[in-house]
Amino acid sequence: EAGVAQSPRYKIIEKRQSVAFWCNPISGHATLYWYQQILGQGPKLLIQFQNNGVVDDSQLPKDRFSAERLKGVDSTLKIQPAKLEDSAVYLCASSMTGINYGYTFGSGTRLTVV
């Protein structure tokens, strides 16, 4: 099966600019996650979708970050305006529901804010 697709792979922007990341999960996976991985740290959940509804966005900085999952398939994560501390790898993952189904991660987008 095809994996979780993410684009772009790399992005460099200046602070205060906006940026968007795209994720296409594995077909049939109802749950989609966005994680932020700052250099030297483990990934931290930003937002979790179940189909097109938000399950958990408690760690999403809502003053500058937004995310949507249209029609319960693809998802877009946006940052506006970006800050230097937003420099990180943004990982998307998807899963089916249930104990026998694990996560599948994408290769992430590396964002550098200068």
Partner 1 sequence: AQTVTQSQPEMSVQEAETVTLSCTYDTSESNYYLFWYKQPPSRQMILVIRQEAYKQQNATENRFSVNFQKAAKSFSLKISDSQLGDTAMYFCAFMRDYTGANSKLTFGKGITLSVRP
The β-bridge relationship of strands 88-95 and 75-79 is: unpaired
Place of tokens 């943004």: 90
Which of residues 50, 52, 66, 87 is near partner 1 by CB under 8 A? 50
Residues 82 and 20 sit within 8 Å (Cβ to Cβ):
no
For partner 1, the closer CB: 14 or 72: 72
Contacting partner 1 (CB under 8 A), which of 16, 80, 101, 114? 101
Q: Which two tokens stand for residue 15?
A: 């602070």
- Out of 43, 49, 60, 75, the only residue in the binding site for partner 1 (CB under 8 A) is 43
* CB of 82 closer than 8 Å to CB of 19: yes
Q: What gap in Å lies between CA 30 and CA 13, rounded to an integer? A: 32
Asked if residue 89 binds partner 1 (CB under 8 A), the reply is yes
List 5, 13, 26, 45, residue binding partner 1 (CB under 8 A) = 45
Contacting residues toward partner 1, per CB under 8 A: 3, 31, 33, 35, 40-45, 48, 50, 55-56, 89, 91, 93, 95, 97-99, 101-103, 105-108, 110
